Amino acid sequence: MTDGFNATQPIYLQLLQKVIIQIVRGDLKTGEKLPSVRELGAQFKVNPNTVQRAYAELERLAVVETRRGLGTFVTEDKACLNQLREQLKHEKIDTFIQDMKEMGFNAVEIIAGLSEHLNDKSN
Amino acid sequence: MSMVKFENVSKKYYGELALDNVSFELPGGKVIGLIGPNGSGKSTALKIMAGLIRVNRGKVTVCGKPTCRRISEEVAFLSELDAFYSFFTVQETINFYHEQYSDFDINKAESMLKFMQLKPDARVKDLSKGNRGRLKIVLTLSRRAKLILMDEPLSGLDPMVRESIIKGLVSFIDLEHQTVIMTTHEVSEIEPLLDMVVAIRDGHVLKIEEVDNIREEYNISLVEWMKKVFV
């Protein structure tokens, strides 16, 4: 696949996830303007309709807001962004824990394994 | 209203059926791919929409009007072949199109030339194949036509040229007022561009599907879907 899109999920969803990660990382700040539909389309070589759909979905999630004639902006609502950040964290941790439990690791082993791994990485 | 409508359309070439009693409708405001193997009838379908080929049987309407040679006033067609005057410069070619088509947007053409990094004073006959491909895109997209038809816009071009053509398409197409229908082989490359696909084989339309639906419902890419549809 081209430009890091996987083959199984709708492209507008993958685009939405890319924007959300940029926001959660702080690459896109609160109140900052998102690229125009055309710019983002050209950057990822996707159809403007697809970008439009991703932006509409982000707006529905209240992560961005569209100001008529001005463009699309990251919401000023910090609480909403924090909530999004927490939500993503929980989702990732959930899948991780599920995988570990499936392989028979208990809570203590998981935590021990995690801190050991993280310590290794930081040294 | 549908942008393109085929009703019981058949087309024969010397007794051989290229399209066999085909009926379908395509909506406006989308980028639509006609996909299928060589000889499937997809180019024939495209040329019928462009008013370049007459059908033997059935009815075809584009923007609500029956197609004929005059439909070229409303439809921009990008041919697989080159159709330039080789003695013209790039600028002269642009000017010529400007004179021929009342909907030709000269300002858009100038900005697309810059985007494609084409030199206005270069002679068409001295252009590389890639730059001729770029010039074709400029000429086609500079028209404010309701329907833009492209016959294999990427075929035979190197990856750099293909990328600039795809980016040019995304940057300059106006889907609020325009619809794009293209035939293509480069399905995996063009997939992120498409809203919808029409699968054609042996003169029959096998399926019409939204690309997002293919991924949402079957969890597969367009290429995988094609393998299923065309078996």
Per-residue pLDDT at A79: 87
If interface means Cβ-Cβ distance under 8 Å, which residues of chain B face chain A? 29-31, 163, 166-167, 170-171, 173, 175, 188-189, 191-195, 211-212, 215-216, 219-221, 223-224
Percent of chain A residues topping a pLDDT of 70: 97
Domain ranges in chain A are: 11-76, 79-122
Rounded-to-integer distance, Cα B16 and Cα B151, Å: 21
Would you tell me how many other CB atoms lie within 10 Å of the CB of residue B37?
13
Rounded-to-integer distance, Cα B98 and Cα B85, Å: 15
- Band of residue B27 on the pLDDT scale cut at 50, 70, 90: very high
In the predicted model, what is the mean pLDDT of residues B206-212?
A: 92
Using an 8 Å CB-CB cutoff, list chain A residues near B173. Answer: 48
- Band of residue B208 on the pLDDT scale cut at 50, 70, 90: very high
Taking domain B2-229, whether its CATH number is 3.40.50.740 is answered by no
Q: Is the pLDDT of residue B64 over 60?
A: yes
Pick from A9, A11, A53: which is nearest to B192 by CB? Answer: A11
Using an 8 Å CB-CB cutoff, list chain A residues near B193. Answer: 45-47
Per-residue pLDDT at B220: 85
Q: What is the dihedral of CA B151, B155, B157, B161, to 10 degrees?
A: 50
User: H helices within B79-128, ranges in order?
Assistant: 90-100, 106-115
Q: Is the pLDDT of residue A2 over 50?
A: no
Pick from B188, B212, B216: which is nearest to A1 by CB? Answer: B188
Name the least confident of A1-15, A105-119, B18-32: A1-15
Per-residue pLDDT at A3: 56
Using an 8 Å CB-CB cutoff, list chain B residues near A41. Answer: 170-171
Taking domain A11-76, whether its CATH number is 1.10.10.10 is answered by yes
In the predicted model, what is the mean pLDDT of residues A14-21?
A: 90
* Minimum Cα–Cα distance from A48: chain B residue: B170
- Band of residue B104 on the pLDDT scale cut at 50, 70, 90: very high
Q: What is the largest CA-CA distance in chain B?
A: 52
Rounded-to-integer distance, Cα B95 and Cα B99, Å: 6
B216–chain A nearest CA distance, Å: 6
Name the least confident of A22-26, A119-123, B93-97, B157-161: A119-123
Q: Is the pLDDT of residue B4 over 90?
A: yes
Instruction: Tell me B185's DSSP state.
Output: S
Per the listing, tokens 């890319």 go with: A18
Q: Is the pLDDT of residue B68 over 50?
A: yes
Per the listing, tokens 């990427």 go with: B154
The tens digit of pLDDT for each residue in A43-70 reads 899 999 999 999 999 999 889 999 888 9
In the predicted model, what is the mean pLDDT of residues A86-111?
A: 92
Pick from A7, A10, A46: which is nearest to B216 by CB? Answer: A10
Contacts of B135 (CB under 8 A, 6+ apart): B84, B90, B93, B116, B118, B124, B127
A11 to B194: CB separation less than 8 angstroms, yes or no: no
For residue A55, give the amino acid letter.
Y
Domain ranges in chain B are: 2-229
